[in-house]
A and B are shown apart, each in its own frame.
Chain A
Amino acid sequence: MRIGLLVYFLRKALENIWTNPFLSLVTLSTIAISMLILGLFSLIYLNVQQSLHQMGGELQITAYLQETISSEQAEVLRSKVADWPEVEGITYISKEQALARFRSQLREYAGILEGLKENPLPASLELTLMPQYGRSGNIKELSTRLGRLSGVAEVQYGRKWMAKLRVFVEVMKLVGITVGGLLLIATIFVISNTIKLTFYSRREELEIMRLVGATDFFIKAPFLIEGLLHGLGGALLAAGGLSLLILFLFSHLDLPLRLAVMAGSLPTGQLVAGFLGLGLLLGVLGSMVSLRRFLRP
């Protein structure tokens, strides 16, 4: 397509938007708010999920070994448990490794360990499970079995709140998909409705254009671009709003969520790109919905 023609369509689209600025504003804010809500949902979801992942999830089981076990005996134990079908991976952590890890976790407080005469931490076996054995019934059964092995002093597995958080995350995902889907449908409806109104306010001109030889494409193109601009504009507003929200709200709130919504771990670039893509799609879909109906002879 010629650049001149594209500019012409763009100008027509802007004219359409200007002829009813209030309507355009309403459309823009509807799109922006829908996408903002959607964005918030996915952001929180992504972050909580990521944090869960980082914390190891509940799929990890630790078997602490008795003090009397030598590293050779521990190795025998390790290879035995490694053959169990539920076990994905298993690592032996010696007393020294356990202490070193503890020290690095304490960081600046590591000094409090200096007073220790001997290493109080036990050696352990750390197991990760195959995902299909991740249900709590399996885990409980497996830890009992582990605990009965000679040389194992104590078994610990993923804390209860983690399992709860996981359920919460799944529920949130469901709610997010449902609410998000409804919002997106509503957005398409709002865009198509706006186009419909512009179309009506210009119908005399469009009718004359048809009579003097305008193609359907020529008549449609400015409306498609109008929808597209609304979608993009709304997406930009939403992306901006979300960034502001993250910057000013979450960083000043002292919620556990703050831990999850870590500014550093935000996929911001991807998010903005996703928003713009979604905005474009919504705009085109919205205008196509109305144009399909209105260009019938």
Chain B
Amino acid sequence: MIQLYHVYKAYGGEQHALHDVTLTADKGDFLFITGPSGAGKTTLLKLIFCAEQATRGQLLVDGINLQRLKRSGVPYLRRKIGVVFQDFKLLGERTVFANVGLTLEVTGRPRAYIEKKVRQILRLVGLDAKENHLCCRLSGGEQQRVAIARAVAANPIIVLADEPTGNLDDEITLEILELFREINRRGTTVVLATHNRELIEKVPGAKVGILRQGRLVAAGVARQVMAQRSALEISSQGVL
């Protein structure tokens, strides 16, 4: 579903934001991208939905070679990918309904279909009672749900989420994570960038890729990778 081969990304300067990253997510995978701040997590997501272009290497998304994708093809790729942005990117002065419906509007869906679909998605994220509220009046957790609802409204095959639990308290973090697991259970590939280790431990069957200064330092099934990492960290602490 998502394949990266020796991907490099440099933003103008000498330093690479991503350095020789090779990583795969199959259909139905739940993939965590983790690592400290500045490691390149956001950059990696941006490459996948064509918000940035790789400097070098190959990227395939649903069989499409992104390095060769024309500008006119980008919108159609994005319709297959739902993105939950770190800063939500919601229209504060618009209603919950309008924000979620936007994804469907831009594909030229008729009004009746949009209404039906948006209500259905809002029920899934538990916001059906707030359909007509303005987004700027919602709490952080509610805004996050709206962002998720918008990302999944057009039935994408991939959902990307950038630090979706960044500013939320523990209880709501778990609820949000559960929402992504539900989306994943319905067959959607989920890629979730987070620096929060605890989150990964909650989904032992997931895949994980660990980035450090743009390099992929570990990848595999969460349970094993996380166990290795903690062992490594304990031993390195022992050395120190």
A-side residues, CB < 8 A to B, are 2, 4-5, 8, 204-205, 207-216, 218, 297
Contact partner, A8, options B51, B71, B91, B105, Cβ 8 Å: B105
Q: In the complex, A104 Cα to B89 Cα: how many Å?
A: 83
- Contact assessment for A213 and B107 in the assembled complex, using a CB-CB cutoff below 8 Å: yes
A295 to chain B, nearest CB (A): 10
Number of B interface residues at 8 Å Cβ cutoff, please give it: 22
| A214–B71 CB distance below 8 A | no
**Inter-chain contacts of A210 with B (CB < 8 A):** 75
Please determine whether A215 and B110 come into contact, CB atoms closer than 8 angstroms. Answer: no
In the complex, what residue of chain A is closest to B78 when comparing beta carbons?
A213
Q: How far is the CA of A216 from the CA of B103 in the complex (A)?
A: 15
Instruction: Select one of A2, A208, A213 contacting B79, CB under 8 A.
Output: A213
Cα(A4)–Cα(B102), bound, Å = 16
Choose one: B75, B85, B91; the contact of A213 (CB below 8 Å).
B75
In whole angstroms, what is the CA distance A199 to B35 when docked?
Answer: 38
Cβ of B106 under 8 Å from chain A: yes
Q: Are A212 and B103 in contact (CB under 8 A)?
A: yes
* Chain B positions 61 through 83: 1 when the CB is less than 8 Å from some CB of chain A, otherwise 0: 00000000001100110110001
- Judged by a CB distance under 8 angstroms, whether B108 is at the interface is yes
B154 touches A (CB below 8 Å): yes
Contact A218 B106 (CB under 8 A): yes
| Any A CB within 8 A of the CB of B150 | yes
Q: Do residues A211 and B78 form an inter-chain contact, with CB atoms below 8 A?
A: yes
Report whether B51 and A205 are in contact in the complex, using a CB–CB cutoff of 8 Å: no
8 intermolecular pairs with C-beta atoms under 8 Å apart? A2-B108, A8-B108, A209-B106, A210-B75, A211-B51, A212-B78, A213-B75, A218-B106
Among residues of B, the one whose C-beta sits closest to the C-beta of A297 is B71
Inter-chain contacts of B150 with A (CB < 8 A): 212
List CB contacts (< 8 Å) of B85-120 with chain A. 85, 89, 91, 102-103, 105-108, 110-111
The interface centre, meaning the residue of B51, B91, B106, B150 with most chain A CB atoms within 10 A of its CB, is B106
Within the complex, what minimum Cβ distance (angstroms) separates B47 from chain A? 14
Q: Cα distance A213–B74 when bound, in Å?
A: 7
The verdict on A212 contacting B106 (CB below 8 Å), with A205-B91, A297-B71 known, is yes
Contact B108 A213 (CB under 8 A): no
Closest 6 CB pairs of A and B: A214-B106, A213-B78, A213-B79, A212-B103, A215-B75, A213-B75
**C-alpha spacing A213/B151, complex, angstroms:** 11
A213–B72 touching, CB < 8 Å: no
CA A212 – CA B83 in complex, angstroms?
8
A208 and B87 alpha carbons, distance in the complex (Å): 12
B75, A214: Cβ atoms under 8 Å? Answer: yes
A213 and B154: CB pair below 8 A? yes
Q: Scan residues 155-177 of chain B and give those whose CB is less than 8 A from a CB of chain A.
A: none
Interface centre among A209, A214, A218 (most CB of B within 10 A): A214
Q: Please give, as numbers and ranges, the residues of chain A lying within 8 Å of B154 by CB-CB distance.
A: 212-213
In the bound complex, residues from chain A placing their C-beta under 8 Å from that of B72 are: 215-216
Are A218 and B51 in contact, with the CB atoms below 8 A? no
**Given A213-B78, A213-B154, A218–B108 Cβ distance below 8 Å?**
yes
A33 to chain B, nearest CB (A): 35
Extra pairs beyond A209-B106, A212-B78 (9, CB < 8 Å): A8-B108, A211-B83, A211-B89, A213-B78, A213-B103, A213-B154, A215-B75, A216-B72, A216-B75
**How long is the Cα–Cα vector from A151 to B2 in the complex, in angstroms?**
104
For A211, list chain B residues within 8 Å (CB). 49, 51, 78, 83, 85, 89
Chain B residues within 8 Å of A5, by CB: 108
Q: In angstroms, how far is the closest chain B Cβ from the Cβ of A67?
A: 87
Chain A residues with CB under 8 Å of B103's CB are 212-213
Assembled-state Cα–Cα distance A212/B103 (Å) = 6
For A205, list chain B residues within 8 Å (CB): 91, 102
A213: chain B residues within 8 A (beta carbon): 75-76, 78-79, 103, 106-107, 154
C-alpha gap A173/B127 in the complex (Å): 67
